[in-house]
Amino acid sequence: MGEMLGQERRTHMAGLVNESLIGQEIVVTGWVSKRRNLGSLIFCDLRDREGILQVVFREEASKEAYEKADRLRNEYCILVRGTVEKREAVNTAMPTGQVELIAKELKILSESETPPIYIKENLDAAENIRLKYRYLDLRRPDMQRIMKIRSKAYITVRNFMDQEGFLEVETPILTKSTPEGARDYLVPSRNYPGSFYALPQSPQLFKQLLMVSGFDKYFQIAKCFRDEDLRANRQPEFTQIDIEMSFIGVEDIIDLNERLIQKVFKDILDYSVVTPFQRITYKEAMEKYGSDKPDLRFGMEIRDLSDLVSGTEFVVFKSALEASGSVRAINLTGGAAMGRKDIDRLGEFVKTYRAKGLAYIQLKEDGVKTALSKFLSEEEIAAIIQRMDAKTGDLILIVADKNEVVLQSLGALRLDLAKKTGILEGNKEFRFAWVTEFPLLEWDDEAKRFVALHHPFTSPMEEDLDLLETDPGRVRAKAYDMVLNGEELGGGSIRIHDTKLQQKMFSLLGFSEEEAWARFGFLLEAFKFGPPPHGGLAFGMDRLVMFLAGTDNIKDVIAFPKNQNAFDPMTEAPDKVEDNQLRDLGIGISIKE
């Protein structure tokens, strides 16, 4: 057992000690992060939440402390009383590098075995080890930095929302299945055997009900749950900044959230976000970037060549055009030098997006090279080059197919080439945009019915209301996504607040009236009592912190995440439970099919 703290108290954080304290006696606490015994001197780096301070044990200063210091090992937890002195060998790499602490008293509060991972920046250790010993992993300075950023993000968001007149309201965790498309986590009920609560995929319905209640402006930093097959950067539980407002339109929500983002990036990173954000319709985003979350930090836009090659007999182009598809291309600046093999690899890459292949035109110093010259006239090729704004040294990459395939494969190729050619290297820009005018519905080929692109509560655009009857697939939604550097950061919409329109929407989605009432009856019922026009937005808090912290791993921004299999190697959850617990709940374990 370690020494007792007793009445002794820390007076300063070790990582914040500086020259202003020279000559003063202080008490610091923390962990031994390095120790060097030079015989007459023992140096020890003491680490706390704020940083590292060099502590010096000298026999002249305190024989007792000096002798005890010989026992110190890495990660011992200690308390040191001593005097701050100017350091001879200044270390400019450390904020405390001008000073050192001459120890007069040492308490070993607890000892440490050799830690199974290094407590250092940029650790390269297996993920499961990091997660099993998460409490040690979190001691590492980069994890401490991230958790501080996350904490600051919470308070910044909350104070902003509070000042804007939003009320924070907690919505239930034990609730009823909501229809966000993913699987629900279920919670068996002891009072109603055979019945289950569901953990919320989002507070969507509750925040709409709060608007019906007249709270006017609601926000919450809410835990959400999805029992999906996990992919990189997905976690079974995640956090979202959830916002809803009444008596507003799209512009009000956009304005509020641009100012929120500006505040967060300014306060946390001292970065000035430019507002208003660029806006781009879903249609334009798909056609120019092949993505509904375009990375706008670079060009390389997709352009349509269909009109230029409409007369061709080249079977690949011809059959695509005849099937209402298109021929489109991107221009890789400076790409003409790329060798045959590398271009072939790009061809393989687009095939993973169901494209049949990649045609290309190389604009070499010694002239234009392309296999297309067998099928296209010189004028046609010249027109393509002009359409693509290509110059000598460039490489035009062409896909012909159904529109969906052309856009997806070229969009993916664009991002892949940006990565490979490093055009974003050193780019520290945060490029925000709003993607607007999303389709309300999307045809699901398998289910043979429409599904909601956002969710079933999204309002159609007024100008498209008539199309609901005649051509639902063309109806645009009052929906908007906030996009940052090619990632979706948030999404929202103006909601339906009319029972009839909401029922119409459910019927388009293939719910019978009965089914709709069984699942969402409480919302339809609520809409009978003077619901206000309302809308809102939800941000991925985890993703926001990833951007703020500069990490691309969601596990880095969550204190205690699960691994890829939704398992926690530290607590070993999920785990077996006692038979009587299951008996109480009226459930049993069956064999999985």
Which residue ranges are tagged as binding site? Answer: 180, 226-228, 235, 454, 488, 495, 540-543
Name the amino acid, one letter, at 210.
Answer: L
Shortest distance in whole angstroms from residue 478 CB to its own copies = 11
CB of 168 to its own copies, least distance (A): 5
Which one, 33 or 291, has the nearer CB to its own copies? 33
Nearer of residues 313 and 463 to its own copies, judged by Cβ? 463
**Minimum CB distance to its own copies smaller for 221 or for 269:** 221
What H or E segment, with its residue span, contains residue 251? helix 250-269
Annotation: binding site for ATP: 226-228, 235, 488, 540-543
Contact 306, 327 (CB under 8 A): yes
Structure tokens at 383: 């027109």
Q: Directed axis angle between helix 204-212 and helix 513-526, to 10°?
A: 50
Instruction: Using the minimum distance from each CB to its own copies, give the nearer residue, 322 or 463.
Output: 463
- Closest CB 51 distance from its own copies, rounded Å: 11
| Residue 428 one-letter amino acid | K
Instruction: Give the nearest distance from C-beta 359 to its own copies in angstroms.
Output: 44
Cβ-based nearer residue to its own copies, 81 or 328: 81
Quote the DSSP letter at residue 306: G
- Tokens 């070790």 -> residue: 14
- In this complex, which beta carbon is closest to its own copies, that of residue 357 or of residue 533? 533
Closer residue to its own copies (CB): 304 or 498 = 498
Provide the greatest CA pair distance for the chain.
94
Cα dihedral 540, 546, 552, 554 sign: negative
Question: From the CB of 130, what's the least distance to its own copies, in Å?
Answer: 12
Which is it for the CA torsion 122, 125, 131, 132, positive or negative? negative
**Which residues contact residue 265 at a Cβ distance below 8 angstroms, ignoring those fewer than 6 apart?**
271, 272, 273, 430, 548
Three-state SS at 197: strand
For the bound state, the minimum distance from the C-beta of residue 218 to its own copies, rounded and expressed in Å, comes to 9
Query: In angstroms, what is the minimal distance from the CB of 399 to its own copies?
Result: 37
Please name the helix (run of DSSP H) or strand (run of DSSP E) that holds residue 64, with its range, or none. Answer: helix 63-69
| Eight-state DSSP code of residue 308 | G
Half-sphere exposure of 504 (CA within 13 A, CB side): 18
Q: What are the tokens at 140?
A: 């590492």
> Which residue type sits at 22?
I
Integer-rounded Cα Rg, in Å, for the chain is 30
Give whichever of 306 and 551 is closer to its own copies, judged by the CB atom.
551
In 3D, which of 121, 153, 113, 114 has the Cα closest to residue 137? Answer: 121
Q: And the tokens for 202? A: 């989002």
Q: Which is nearer to its own copies, 252 or 442 (by Cβ)?
A: 252
* Residue owning tokens 């507002």: 275
Which 3-state string (H, E, C) describes 204-246?
HHHHHHHHHCCCCEEEEEEEEECCCCCCCCCCCEEEEEEEEEE
Measured from the CB atom, the residue of 233 and 421 that comes closer to its own copies is 233
- Least separation in angstroms between CB 209 and its own copies: 4
* Burial class of residue 114 in the structure, from the number of CB atoms within 10 Å of its CB (0-12 exposed, 13-18 middle, 19+ buried): exposed
Between CA 129 and CA 124 the distance in angstroms is 11
The whole-angstrom separation of Cα 170 and Cα 223 is 10
Distance CA 52, CA 100 (A): 10
| Single-letter amino acid code for the residue at 337 | A
Annotated binding residues for L-aspartate: 180, 226, 454, 495
Report the residue number, 151 or 373, with the smaller CB distance to its own copies: 151
Q: How far is the CB of 143 from its own copies (least distance, A)?
A: 8
Cis peptide bond N-terminal to 276, omega within 30: yes
Nearest to 10 by CA among 32, 34, 29: 29
State the nearest-atom distance from the C-beta of 210 to its own copies, in Å.
7
Shortest distance in whole angstroms from residue 48 CB to its own copies: 7
Q: Cβ atoms within 10 A of the Cβ of 300, count?
A: 21
